[in-house]
Amino acid sequence: MGLFDFFKKKQETVEAQEALDKGLEKTKEGFFSKITKAVVGKSTIDDEVLDNLEEVLVMSDVGVTTTLKIVDRIQQRVARDKYVGTEDLNRLLKEEIQALLAENNSNDFETFEYGAHKPYVIMVVGVNGVGKTTTIGKLAHQLKEAGNKVVLGAADTFRAAAVDQIKLWGERVDVRVVAQPMGSDPASVAFDTVKSAVANGDDVAIIDTAGRLHNKVGLMNELTKIKNVMQKVVPGAPHEILLVLDASTGQNAIEQATQFTQATDVNALALTKLDGTAKGGVVIGISDQFKIPVKYIGVGEKIGDLQLFNKRDFVDSLFK
């Protein structure tokens, strides 16, 4: 790496950290004001403080199951160290959340470069309105910036707006889009996209799918059909089934994750709109509950504000 590339990389890292800090501002404000109230007038972490902390975490959309784990861990720490006071609560909380996320068998992703498969096929799922198409566009941009040749497949053929939106993103970030008329078979579009990616020597193919949470059987059949036709062209495709969730919907995002993980083999998550919500705690709950890596987070409107999720950076930013 040359000196120019080194400083460019360093500058990008600083900008990404600043975007993360800014994106989590609303969550931090709500989180810390509630924790401050939980310990007011207390010098030791007693049962009442732990009860209050439990309420704070649940209200921050960490989720009941994950909250109970965190509170139990802190209770054990307090029992071991008799001299822990309320001024240590933030530090303990930060350490235990980081430890919990580290145990979830999810690796942090370092770059937007995928070298294991070519083409690397990503099938994107999620309900309408969560920022699915925007995430696809921003992801295509990041992948292209990392030196990948990218193609998009507009397989959400039930909404004309979805196909048009993908085409607009294709023009904006200068990547090819494979599309068919509205109402076409989504599996046919996916097949054409992957076939085109192979013929064109593309590194990554990203397939959009319909954002409908109709009955689970229908969803399962549709996604299975799309997977099967892609495997005829690229065995093992899709390599990534990315579920996009809107962090601002809190517990509803967890419900959507439940539905989609039952319908298909989701192996990566993207949490959008973290900058517009005080419910950033849902990232912790989803990561813990589903044991599926949170791979991308959306922390702003700018094209570069889709970030690779890093557990340590996220929790550090949350507690700054």
Boundary-marking domain end, from 72, 103, 134: 103
pLDDT over 70 at 216, yes or no: no
pLDDT of residue 123: 97
Q: Which amino acid is at 133?
A: T
**What residues contact 230, with CB distance under 8 A and at least 6 apart?**
121, 123, 190, 191, 194, 207, 237, 238
Q: How far is CA 79 from the centre of its chain?
A: 35
37 shares a domain with 175: no
The mean per-residue pLDDT over the stretch 309-313 comes to 87
List the single range of 41-55, 90-104, 214-228 with lowest mean pLDDT. Answer: 214-228
Annotated binding site: 126-133, 208-212, 272-275
**Quick check: is 112 in a domain?**
no
Q: For residue 30, what are the domain limits?
A: 4-103
* pLDDT of res. 311: 86
Last-in-domain residue among 103, 132, 151: 103
Separation CA 81–CA 250 (nearest Å): 34
Per-residue confidence band for 220, with pLDDT thresholds at 50, 70 and 90: confident
Q: Which residues are annotated as a binding site for GTP?
A: 126-133, 208-212, 272-275
153 and 299 housed in the same domain: yes
CATH code at position 31: 1.20.120.140
Residue with the larger pLDDT of the pair 159 and 306: 306
Cis peptide before 181 (omega within 30 of 0): no
Q: What average pLDDT score do residues 54-78 get? A: 90
Coil, strand or helix at 123: strand
Say if 319 falls within a structural domain: no
Residues 163 and 18 in one domain: no
Instruction: Give the C-alpha separation, 101 to 61, whole Å.
Output: 16
Same domain, residue pair 99 and 124:
no
Q: Which of 103, 131, 149 is the last residue of a domain?
A: 103
Most confident of 77-91, 106-120, 239-253, 272-286: 239-253
Is pLDDT at 10 greater than 60 in this prediction? no
Interval 95-107: pLDDT, tens = 998 888 888 655 6
207, 124 contact by CB (below 8 A): yes
